[in-house]
Chain A
């Protein structure tokens, strides 16, 4: 308490004072430089508030380039996409079929065959006339929905229907589809139920 004036009623209370001058220029320049650097850093690393971009990814394009595109899962995804766009309209996205429109594919003995041959003929050439599916009789026409699709897509969609909705059968490769297509030739006629039954599985 040495710097305190102990006698009462004095104006000098010993409170601190402050000199009047401004902040030096250099620190303001440094602040602006850091603001600029930080802004650049934000621009490159923040993904601009996108809720799907996590470090180390820096942009949507970069994140897309690291999405897995091949492999069994990717093929399934592709098959599903093709199915929903082409087949699901009649056969249903749950594979249950629609009465009067298309038979079910789920638990269908035509789909879960051991081999792929008979099944592959159906989308590549189409079906016409009566046939039995799961004990029920159907008598409708199916166009060759897969004729215009590339081999990979046909293979993907066949794999998809053979493994979805509880079906358990082996996948179909693009080569398999290529072989069947070569067999059928261009502009085939739709097969009848009897013809299909006569084919090897």
Chain B
């Protein structure tokens, strides 16, 4: 074409369309979001961080922790689960027969009779027993009611599933936009050279553990490739008298020379407070699951 104007126009329209769709749209939808409520509760989510934890986010950013750690959990599925918790006065064999006959006779349950039968095959009566695990909430409700009528106690739960969620302590559901409302800057990360941190405050809630891990990662996690962040600490001569309250307690091969102690700087304390504040996993409307409540 002869005219540079048309080239400019094509590029302008193309980039403008993408700007509208991927910048303006999300800003309108997500950028002005406010707090949301925890599912089936009055509690607000997210909880704003206070004090050292807020400043710790800036230390996290400055040290570039997001280069190795992510703060986002993915989910690839969800399931409605029905579990038998008490069989009441029934024998397991009778109960098996009853449930199988139910699922083949009730119209709404007929599509799931094979799945239920497969779950029950080889059941010796050990509890709790998963009866159904799948997408149909109607099956869970119906089967649960029918079993309640004959005195069998069941529990219906919603669980989130996925490779990240299967890892113990990583979180019970995927991360959603509401989780990052008060983060500036958002540190999602893109590489898992180190584990995901969205729930690290629940996995390792001890401030001293976090401080020791920052100073000498290999003293707590063998073969860890995390660099030692010794510049966040100062090694100084021990004062006469009792040890300083915040001096790190380190194993022999990581401890400084005799007569010296390792003390965290303000930045180390802030970073540790931030890490301990990272707790994920309250159920939300957009990421539902049944939280595990303490038994009555």
Contact = CB atoms under 8 A, between A and B. Distances in A.
**Chain A interface bracket (under 10, 10 to 19, 20 to 34, 35 or more):** 20 to 34
A186 interface: no
A65 B286 CA distance: 12
Interface in B74-130: 75-78, 80
Q: Is the interface of B mostly helix, strand, loop or mixed?
A: loop
B135 A51 contact: no
Contact of A56 (B41, B78, B283, B293): B78
A164 B177 CA distance: 30
B137 A66 contact: yes
B296 interface: yes
A171 B158 contact: no
Contacts of A77: 40
Contacts, number: 73
Interface string B125-141: 00000000001110001
Contacts of B233: none
Nearest to B177: A51
A73 B157 contact: no
B174 A54 contact: yes
A74 B29 CA distance: 29
Contacts of B76: 56
Interface in A41-91: 49, 51-57, 62-63, 65-74, 76-77
Select the residue from A55, A56, A171 with max chain B CB neighbours within 10 A: A56
Given A53-B286, A63-B286, A73 B291 contact: yes
Given A54-B75, A56-B75, 5 more contacts: A51-B29, A52-B285, A66-B158, A71-B157, A73-B291
20 contacts: A49-B29, A52-B285, A54-B176, A54-B286, A56-B75, A65-B80, A65-B136, A65-B137, A66-B78, A66-B80, A66-B288, A67-B39, A67-B285, A68-B39, A68-B283, A70-B155, A72-B293, A72-B296, A76-B41, A77-B40
Interface of B: 25, 29-30, 39-41, 75-78, 80, 135-137, 141, 144, 155-158, 174, 176-177, 283, 285-291, 293, 296
